[in-house]
């Protein structure tokens, strides 16, 4: 099972293991390594040319008033007094810088997008072939967020954060070297104060941000109280719970107030700190630097002093940005680890390799099948089920809610493996059959129909993606769906909305039936296929289903017993066991559970 996302977000720690896993991302970068290396060269070039900027800028600013020339003989080009030539140099520096940066950004984006396309594809490919149990254990929302948010996180990091981080490190390193070079004394004073202050400011700032995030969470909570109360307003009123809800709300808004007041105090302190310490430190450096430029034989030219100050500013900015960049990289390592966890799981495809693809003509047999769901191993759902369906027979499954009927249909589709016994298709054990091959021969009209956002036509065509329009219309007609489809102005092209929300339950069911008709399976499973229909529509659809069942093996699950009277065999399931079996007439004569149910439903 994958780790819950929450744990991840609370504290991301870089462990050896997580870094090891995150390294998996390199295999996605590998195909593009040549171009990526070129990108890095551009990055290195643009970062290092940037280092020259503060020097030249400082010389430019300091060149006007100062009569003292630069102390650093070795930088002959820096000795220039000529303002114009410094400006020209600055312009060329930016020109070169612009070209380098352009290629850096373009190359990094290219490599990132290519690698991410491959990563997205393999992550989704993994997911979609995961065994059914995986989806029972992992929340769908969490899984899709892996594919979307985690990848966005990685995208940001690969495209900019890493480059930015590298650039800042080069800037800091280069600045320190040049600061020492210009005046080691002043550099020493500076390094001991300014970066320390900058870091304190950053962490202080983060602390305040955290306080306000807490306040935001409380705000969200209080909003949900309002929302729930208003949505369920009739509940609130009918139970006269207004005062109770108000109390809850008051408590939560009081918490918001207290938290915000607290963070306000800290914010005040923060501002005082910035004003006093940060500016104090800067004034201190400027003071020390200016002292050095004074006197008969000044230690520092004013041009060098300006350069020094420019380096200081650039370095402080870089130091300040490092913690956020580092946090972003940390987050992406977490995100990469998440994705790699998916990519490295075994999926059905691997489990399937080397399995048979026998011809399936429709003889199905359950042999003393015992089954419990993987995450509830101690509860046995099926306790030794044996059944036999010959080619073209209709088998009905009835029984109380929770008896295990839908479970049997899941097993037919090989969503889960059984603990004991055997399921055979034409004598071949389901364990040896390629699931994809098996499922291609089966169609199910499930208990809960979920459609895809798209048109009705697309949803029906899901049964056989290469079907043409005439076939789709024919399937819709047979499912008795054409009438309601044509009543929409856009007909088959009508959008069904998210998960089919814009259709009624009965309409969805008929689309699912059309889907199954289009698939033309050897084995058909109808799990309460007509439960959402009124009696009139049910009769019409039942006609369609009766026709559909001809010439295939069908498993029909139904609560409404009138729909299964004609079945070749009716199995009455009770707490995971077959309590009775036989034809309708046999079971009526037995006067057992079935006969009782029939009587309750008032069928003669």
Ligand X SMILES: Nc1ncnc2c1ncn2[C@@H]1O[C@H](COP(=O)(O)OP(=O)(O)OP(=O)(O)O)[C@@H](O)[C@H]1O
Residue 362 site contact among ligand X, Mg ion, none (CB < 5 to 8 Å, cut-off depends on kind): none
CB 405 → Mg ion: shortest distance, Å? 5
Interaction of residue 478 with Mg ion, rule CB under 5 A: no
Q: Contact at 8 Å (CB) between 108 and 46?
A: no
CB-nearer residue toward ligand X: 402 or 497: 402
CB-nearer residue toward Mg ion: 406 or 507: 406
CB 454 → ligand X: shortest distance, Å? 27
* Of 70, 155, 332, 406, the one binding Mg ion by CB under 5 A: 406
CB-nearer residue toward ligand X: 292 or 403: 403
Q: What is the arrangement of strands in the sheet containing 364-371, beginning at the earlier edge strand?
A: 382-389, 364-371, 420-425, 428-429
CB 374 → ligand X: shortest distance, Å? 8
Which residues in this chain contact ligand X in the complex, by CB under 6 A? 136, 373, 376, 381, 399, 401-407, 447
Do β-strands 569-574 and 577-582 pair in parallel, antiparallel, or remain unpaired? Answer: antiparallel
Q: Which of 559, 546, 566 minimizes the C-alpha distance to 480? A: 546
Q: Which of 385, 381, 340, 392 minimizes the C-alpha distance to 366? A: 385
The DSSP bridge partners found for residue 557 are 397, 527
Residue 263 site contact among Mg ion, ligand X, none (CB < 5 to 8 Å, cut-off depends on kind): none
Q: Contact at 8 Å (CB) between 336 and 25?
A: yes
3-state SS class at 125? helix
Residue 284 site contact among ligand X, Mg ion, none (CB < 5 to 8 Å, cut-off depends on kind): none
Residue 376 site contact among Mg ion, ligand X, none (CB < 5 to 8 Å, cut-off depends on kind): ligand X
199-203 long-range contacts (CB < 8 A, ≥24 apart) are 199/319, 199/320, 199/323, 200/273, 200/277, 201/270, 201/273, 201/274, 201/278, 201/320, 202/320, 202/323, 202/324, 203/323
Stretch that binds Mg ion, among 157-165, 374-382, 402-410, 455-463 (CB under 5 A): 402-410
Residue 288 site contact among ligand X, Mg ion, none (CB < 5 to 8 Å, cut-off depends on kind): none
Residue 381 site contact among ligand X, Mg ion, none (CB < 5 to 8 Å, cut-off depends on kind): ligand X
Stretch that binds Mg ion, among 53-61, 91-99, 372-380, 444-452 (CB under 5 A): 444-452
3-state SS class at 578? strand
CB-nearer residue toward Mg ion: 160 or 447: 447
Residue 136 site contact among Mg ion, ligand X, none (CB < 5 to 8 Å, cut-off depends on kind): ligand X
CB 527 → Mg ion: shortest distance, Å? 6
CB 407 → ligand X: shortest distance, Å? 3
Residue 494 site contact among ligand X, Mg ion, none (CB < 5 to 8 Å, cut-off depends on kind): none
CB 366 → ligand X: shortest distance, Å? 14
Residue 247 site contact among ligand X, Mg ion, none (CB < 5 to 8 Å, cut-off depends on kind): none
CB 597 → ligand X: shortest distance, Å? 13
CB 524 → ligand X: shortest distance, Å? 17
CB 133 → ligand X: shortest distance, Å? 8
Please state, as a whole number, how many other Cβ atoms lie within 10 Å of the Cβ of residue 452.
12
CB-nearer residue toward ligand X: 89 or 573: 573
Q: Which of 466, 550, 454, 461 minimizes the C-alpha distance to 493? A: 454
DSSP 397: E
CB-nearer residue toward Mg ion: 363 or 406: 406
Helix or strand run (H / E) with residue 423: strand 420-425
581-586 long-range contacts (CB < 8 A, ≥24 apart) are 581/387
Residue 54 site contact among ligand X, Mg ion, none (CB < 5 to 8 Å, cut-off depends on kind): none
3-state SS class at 372? coil
Non-local (6+) Cβ contacts of 189 within 8 A are 284, 285, 288
CB-nearer residue toward ligand X: 110 or 447: 447
CB-nearer residue toward Mg ion: 314 or 529: 529
The DSSP bridge partners found for residue 444 are 525
CB 430 → Mg ion: shortest distance, Å? 20
Number of residues that bind Mg ion (CB under 5 A): 2
Q: What is the DSSP string of 160-213?
A: IIHHHHHHHHHHHHHHHHHHHHH-HHHHHHHHHHHHHHHHHHHHHHHHHHHHHH
Interaction of residue 155 with Mg ion, rule CB under 5 A: no
Residue 373 site contact among ligand X, Mg ion, none (CB < 5 to 8 Å, cut-off depends on kind): ligand X
CB 464 → ligand X: shortest distance, Å? 27
Q: What is the DSSP string of 52-82?
A: HHHHHHHHHHHHTT--SPPS-TT-GGGG---
List residues near Mg ion by CB under 5 A. Answer: 406, 447
């Amino acid at each position: 099972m994958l780790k819950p996302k929450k744990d991840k977000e609370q504290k991301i720690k870089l462990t050896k293991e997580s870094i090891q896993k995150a390294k998996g991302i390199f295999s996605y970068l590998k195909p593009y390594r040549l171009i990526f290396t070129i990108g890095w060269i551009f990055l290195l070039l643009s970062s290092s040319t940037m280092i020259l900027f503060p020097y030249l800028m400082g010389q430019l600013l300091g060149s006007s008033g100062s009569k003292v020339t630069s102390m650093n003989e070795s930088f002959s080009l820096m000795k220039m007094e000529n303002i114009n030539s410094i400006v020209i140099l600055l312009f060329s520096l930016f020109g070169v810088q612009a070209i380098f940066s352009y290629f850096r950004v373009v190359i990094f984006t290219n490599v990132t997008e290519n690698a991410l396309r491959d990563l997205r594809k393999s992550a989704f490919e993994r997911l979609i072939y995961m065994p059914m149990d995986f989806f029972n254990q992992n929340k769908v929302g969490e899984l899709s967020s892996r594919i979307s948010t985690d990848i966005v996180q990685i995208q940001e990091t690969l495209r900019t954060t890493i480059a930015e981080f590298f650039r800042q490190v080069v800037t800091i390193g280069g600045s320190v070297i040049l600061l020492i070079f210009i005046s080691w004394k002043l550099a020493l004073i500076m390094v001991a104060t300014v970066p320390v202050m900058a870091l304190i400011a950053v962490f202080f700032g983060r602390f305040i941000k955290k306080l306000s995030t807490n306040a935001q969470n409380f705000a969200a909570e209080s909003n949900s109280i309002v929302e729930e109360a208003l949505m369920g307003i009739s509940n609130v009123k009918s139970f006269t719970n207004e005062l109770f809800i108000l109390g809850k709300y008051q408590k939560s808004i009081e918490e918001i107030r207290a938290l915000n007041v607290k963070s306000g105090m800290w914010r005040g302190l923060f501002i005082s700190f910035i004003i006093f310490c940060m500016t104090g430190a800067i004034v201190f450096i400027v003071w020390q630097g200016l002292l050095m430029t004074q006197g008969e034989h000044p230690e520092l030219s004013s041009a060098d002093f300006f350069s020094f100050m420019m380096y200081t500013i650039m370095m402080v900015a870089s130091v300040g940005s490092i913690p956020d960049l580092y946090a972003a990289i940390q987050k992406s390592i977490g995100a990469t680890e998440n994705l790699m966890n998916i990519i490295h799981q075994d999926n059905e495809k691997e489990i399937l390799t080397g399995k048979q693809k026998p011809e399936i003509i429709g003889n199905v047999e359950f042999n003393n099948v015992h089954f419990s769901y993987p995450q509830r191993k101690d509860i046995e759902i099926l306790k030794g089920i044996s059944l036999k369906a010959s080619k073209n027979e209709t088998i009905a499954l009835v029984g109380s809610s929770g008896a295990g009927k839908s479970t049997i249909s899941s097993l037919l589709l090989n969503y889960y493996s059984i603990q004991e016994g055997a399921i055979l298709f034409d004598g071949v054990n389901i364990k040896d059959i390629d699931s994809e091959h098996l499922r291609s021969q089966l169609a199910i009209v499930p208990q809960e129909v979920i459609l895809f956002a798209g048109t009705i036509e697309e949803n029906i065509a899901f049964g056989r993606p290469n079907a043409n329009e005439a076939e789709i219309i024919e399937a819709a007609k047979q499912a008795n769906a054409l009438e309601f489809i044509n009543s929409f102005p856009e007909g088959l092209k009508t959008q069904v909305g998210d998960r089919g929300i814009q259709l009624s339950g009965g309409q969805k069911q008929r689309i699912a039936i059309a889907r199954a008709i289009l698939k033309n399976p050897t084995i058909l499973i109808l799990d309460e296929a007509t439960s959402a229909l009124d009696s009139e529509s049910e009769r019409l659809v039942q006609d369609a289903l009766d026709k559909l069942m001809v010439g295939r093996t069908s498993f029909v699950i139904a609560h409404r017993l009138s729909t299964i009277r004609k079945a070749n065999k009716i199995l009455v399931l009770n707490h995971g066991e077959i309590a009775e079996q036989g034809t309708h007439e046999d079971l009526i004569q037995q006067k057992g559970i079935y006969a009782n149910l029939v009587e309750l439903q008032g069928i003669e």
